[in-house]
């Protein structure tokens, strides 16, 4: 839907990437001059993040928060302070239970609040709701806001 509207979409499955969390070594804010000392698959994402104007995060919810696989790249954005041209974000979250999203949503809102970007929406779906027409319609409505 986003591509049909003329947007360039670059899907990235960070769970299939080798990305570790931030070491808090401060190399990026010292000698590194904005570059991270860690050399892993995150290096592929930095140029994309620098140019992105929209970022859609999608994560399963484990123990009431975003998965570690999505948290690691978010932490590693620390070297950039915030993605360069980013203006809008959205969150897609799924779980086996309907009542586990509050922690993840709070974390997401804290992150985008720090980045100073617009939240275009949040769509949550239990595992058995993911492929329903109702969930698809919610996602299509979210895409229209982007």
Residues 118-139 have pLDDT tens digits of: 999 999 887 777 677 887 778 7
Residue 97 lies in a domain: yes
Other C-beta atoms closer than 10 Å to the C-beta of 92 total 18
The residue range of the domain holding 47 is: 24-145
The sign of the torsion formed by the CA atoms of 49, 41, 35, 29 equals positive
**What's the Cα-to-Cα distance from 136 to each of 86, 89, 92, 130, rounded to whole Å?**
25, 18, 11, 8
Q: pLDDT value at position 141?
A: 79
pLDDT along the chain (146 residues), means of 10: 77 96 96 95 96 94 94 95 92 90 96 96 81 78 75
Three-state SS at 67: coil
Residue 16 lies in a domain: no
Residue 12 lies in a domain: no
Q: pLDDT value at position 18?
A: 98
Residue 117 lies in a domain: yes
Q: Give the integer Cα–Cα distance in Å for 57 and 74.
A: 10
CATH number reported for the structural domain that contains residue 113 in this entry? 3.40.50.360
Residue 6 lies in a domain: no
Residue 18 lies in a domain: no
Residue 14 lies in a domain: no
Backbone angles phi, psi at 124, to 5 degrees: -115, 150
Question: Please, which contacts does 34-41 make with residues 24 or more away whose CB atoms are closer than 8 Å?
Answer: 34/79, 34/80, 35/79, 36/76, 36/79, 38/76, 41/17
Other C-beta atoms closer than 10 Å to the C-beta of 99 total 8
Residue 98 lies in a domain: yes
Q: How many structural domains comprise the chain? A: 1
**Which residues lie across from 54 on neighbouring strands?**
88
Q: pLDDT value at position 1?
A: 62
């Amino acid at each position: 839907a986003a591509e049909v509207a003329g947007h360039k979409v670059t899907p990235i499955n960070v769970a299939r990437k080798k990305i570790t969390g931030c070491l808090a070594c401060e190399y990026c804010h010292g000698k590194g001059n904005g570059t991270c000392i860690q050399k892993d698959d995150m290096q592929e994402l930095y140029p994309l993040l620098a140019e992105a104007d929209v970022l859609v995060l999608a994560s399963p919810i484990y123990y009431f928060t975003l998965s570690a696989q999505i948290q690691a790249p978010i932490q590693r954005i620390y070297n950039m302070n915030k993605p360069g041209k980013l203006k809008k974000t959205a969150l897609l979250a799924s779980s086996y239970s309907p009542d586990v999203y509050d922690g993840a949503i709070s974390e997401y809102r804290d992150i985008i609040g720090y980045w100073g970007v617009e939240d275009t929406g949040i769509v949550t779906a239990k595992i058995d709701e993911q492929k329903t027409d109702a969930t698809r319609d919610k996602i299509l409505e979210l895409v229209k806001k982007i």
